[in-house]
Structure 1
């Protein structure tokens, strides 16, 4: 963090400018692939639902594919684009994004916006998870059961635009925190599983009786 402060003092002594998404990039809509089109190989595909369930801040490979024919009829995200889910059942998840860092373009489903800019795509993706962004987006959410945000509204939302060097340093720091969080979750899950096994062992011991009422200690 001290390095980032030094960089900000050197590269942004007068502060960091804020610009709207409409000023710094362009949006296009995804469209084409559906779940019924998924297969185990072919052209990589990102479905909007997977942005909530499968992907993190950035990705360089997909877990589903579509045929060349389906891909040909689909909209694509290019390396460096950010794929944003513009539909959700709740406000918290709405407008999460994944920075596409793969080598090839990917087919992108409906209910997405594809954002292209000169910003570091992972920086943009992290920003879409920030409280600063959340406060702004809530002004533009529409719908009742299904919540949506439009490209028109997105263009009005502001994002801090430091130098590319600072963006990359922020991504580096946040990636380290993300990795640490994943490691801690894995450790906690392992500990939880051990506790579950311990609980099951004692549960079965305490609820297993020999005829006559004594606890069965042979288990």
Structure 2
């Protein structure tokens, strides 16, 4: 069914009037809670960092004690179902639906929408605002310092009100649209929860079998150091050398590889960061020609070792090893001697191959779900956005356009 036909059936011939948001919705700014008076417990404060774009997160929430203020803070209370908006900073224009049972309080630079109950369905407004986040950001000035300092800026945003002369029918139509869009939202949340649970289960399985297969007693196999069985070194490039459309992979210190038009190595190697957030973690397994950052390390096993066996073993135990070997409680930088002394078991090559084959199957399962999770979420989000635009993109009358 086409967009026009679907809307005609839904509206059943009634008119749609585009109204300024200020006509159908009031707006309340937050209170200037003082950061110096934030508490570890008490009444929760919702700040711009708690507005995640769809919901209100209570992660890293701050608290206050009403007795610290002369002003009446009760009027800034937030209840379940309230729609909030971040009014400045990096999250400007982001919308959040407060779905928590316990009340919270509205901080400055966060605003609350108050839809007029006999005109505008709360969730209808919520879905509509989600479709206008980019427009609101532009209204706020965009750029490096967007700011919705004036309620009048948002008051001019237009929202379609079906059957405005018959509030009861208008609200019924809005409720039907909400029902459809909420169903897509619930489907996305359910799918995400299922895939996340599956991913966590696979990770536990993989970790269990990895721990079981890579645990060797002292007398069961020969033990050597990483320096005995591998060549270890660094690259020579800096992140600034990266080229967006370069021909070769450039492994730096982060999870995402870069590009260069030159390569330094043509080999199979395990890559780990020498400093930064990736210290002790294995992000990359290089095969073929590649370039390497000056503070990233390449580990190239000799013929006595299956490269993927070394990869799995280092992934499992190297981070714990450097944390224990360091005099610092937090390792921020690695040096070559820390690699050279890392102990590693050397079972027969056939046993290495058997272990690798098992672990590769579990890693493939885990990776496929891990990569599939964001793809599935993105697909569901696009599906939701398609129907949201279909249901909320009402054609404007000539009178609305003229206004």
Tell me if TM exceeds 0.5. Answer: yes
Contact 2:93 2:137 in 1 (8 A): no
Q: Which residue of 2 aligns with 1:194?
A: 201
Could you tell me how far apart the structure 2 residues matched to 1:195 and 1:98 are?
A: 32
Counterparts of residues 124-143 of structure 1 (less than 5 Å): 124-130=125-131, 133-142=132-141
Contact 1:120 1:164 in 2 (8 A): yes
Gaps of 5+ in 1: 58-62
Could you tell me how far apart the structure 2 residues matched to 1:85 and 1:16 are?
A: 29
Counterparts of residues 76-87 of structure 1 (less than 5 Å): 76-77=76-77, 81-87=82-88
Q: Which residue of 1 aligns with 2:175?
A: 168
User: Structure 1 residue 184: deviation in Å?
Assistant: 0.9
Contact 2:48 2:110 in 1 (8 A): yes
User: Structure 1 residue 106: deviation in Å?
Assistant: 4.7
Counterparts of residues 64-103 of structure 1 (less than 5 Å): 66-69=64-67, 72-74=71-73, 76-77=76-77, 81-89=82-90, 93-99=91-97
Could you give the per-residue CA deviations for residues 72-98 of structure 1, whole angstroms, max 9, x where no partner exists? 543515657532211231xxx432333
Could you give the per-residue CA deviations for residues 30-74 of structure 1, whole angstroms, max 9, x where no partner exists? 1133565345445x6433321228x728xxxxx775433358543
Could you tell me how far apart the structure 1 residues matched to 2:82 and 2:202 are?
A: 43
State whether structure 2 residue 161 is matched by structure 1 residue 154: no
Contact 2:121 2:174 in 1 (8 A): yes
- Normalised TM-score (structure 2): 0.42
Q: Which residue of 1 aligns with 2:113?
A: 115
User: Structure 1 residue 157: deviation in Å?
Assistant: 1.3
User: Structure 1 residue 108: deviation in Å?
Assistant: 0.7
Contact 1:77 1:83 in 2 (8 A): no
Could you tell me how far apart the structure 1 residues matched to 2:176 and 2:55 are?
A: 18
User: Structure 1 residue 175: deviation in Å?
Assistant: 2.0
User: Given the superposition, is the C-alpha separation of residues 121 and 37 from structure 1 closer, same or farther in structure 2, using an over 3 Å criterion?
Assistant: farther
User: Given the superposition, is the C-alpha separation of residues 124 and 34 from structure 1 closer, same or farther in structure 2, using an over 3 Å criterion?
Assistant: farther
Contact 1:96 1:125 in 2 (8 A): no
Could you tell me how far apart the structure 1 residues matched to 2:95 and 2:197 are?
A: 29
SS in structure 1 of the partner of residue 84 of structure 2: strand
Report which stretch shifted further, 142-151 or 165-174.
142-151
User: Structure 1 residue 109: deviation in Å?
Assistant: 0.3
User: Given the superposition, is the C-alpha separation of residues 134 and 83 from structure 1 closer, same or farther in structure 2, using an over 3 Å criterion?
Assistant: closer
Contact 1:20 1:158 in 2 (8 A): yes
Could you tell me how far apart the structure 2 residues matched to 1:30 and 1:40 are?
A: 20
Q: What's the RMSD between the two structures over aligned residues?
A: 3.8
SS in structure 2 of the partner of residue 49 of structure 1: helix
Could you give the per-residue CA deviations for residues 85-124 of structure 1, whole angstroms, max 9, x where no partner exists? 11231xxx43233355789975210111222221222221
- Normalised TM-score (structure 1): 0.70
Contact 2:86 2:93 in 1 (8 A): yes
Could you tell me how far apart the structure 1 residues matched to 2:106 and 2:155 are?
A: 20
Could you tell me how far apart the structure 2 residues matched to 1:30 and 1:108 are?
A: 5
Could you tell me how far apart the structure 2 residues matched to 1:199 and 1:102 are?
A: 35
SS in structure 1 of the partner of residue 49 of structure 2: helix
Q: Which has the higher contact order (CA 8 A, sep 6+)?
A: 1
SS in structure 2 of the partner of residue 200 of structure 1: helix
